[in-house]
Amino acid sequence: RTLASRLGALTRAVSTMGEEANGAQVQDGGQAEVAALASAVNRSAGRLARESQRARDEQGVRDLILSSMQEGVLLVGDDGRVAFSNEALVRHLGARPGSTWTLFPLGLRDAVDRVSRSRAPMSVEVEIGAPTRWLRGTVVPASEGSSVLVVVRDVTEARRLEAVRRD
């Protein structure tokens, strides 16, 4: 093959390197310089493919853990938009908020706003729904910026047991 066609094949391989799950591979025969370059591209493609697979595997484990939790998890970014929420949060709140502006109940939203500004962790208990349920939100700073992590737990039964014990 000509030098131009070999270089064209290398260019295409490098262009698709991040898109293919198993890494782009090119023939590494021919002129010594082009063969060495092709071999380096193939090694890089293999490393990139392994790293991509490892990242997908790790993401799958994180997703499994977070989707299996009874606690709702919410990550609010610096811009006030929801960066992540799990299914338990949707069960607790009744909807998946898109930003702090759509986060209800208001007591939880206020806690998120306060922690975002003050960077001081706090907990808040809020009443929601009919029949009434009580949720405890633990709100903590999540990064150097104003991102906030919220963990929501249903404490209705614990409150009921506490009331029975007091009576």
pLDDT in tens, 45-79: 888 888 989 999 998 888 888 778 899 999 999 99
- Please state which of the ranges 5-9, 57-61, 108-112 shows the lowest mean pLDDT: 5-9
DSSP string covering the chain: --HHHHHHHHHHHHHHTTT-TT-------SSHHHHHHHHHHHHHHHHHHHHHHHHHHHHHHHHHHHHH-SSEEEEE-TTSBEEEE-HHHHHHHSS--SBGGG-SSHHHHHHHHHHHHH---EEEEEEETTTTEEEEEEEEE-SSSS-EEEEEEE-HHHHHHHHHHH-
Can you give the pLDDT at residue 37? Answer: 77
Band of pLDDT at residue 114, cut at 50, 70 and 90: very high
Q: Output the pTM of the full model.
A: 0.70
- Residue 20 pLDDT class (50, 70, 90 cuts): low
Computed over every residue of the chain, the mean pLDDT equals 87
Q: What is the pLDDT of residues 115-148, one digit of tens each?
A: 999 999 999 999 998 889 999 999 999 988 899 9
Q: Which residue has the higher pLDDT, 120 or 33?
A: 120
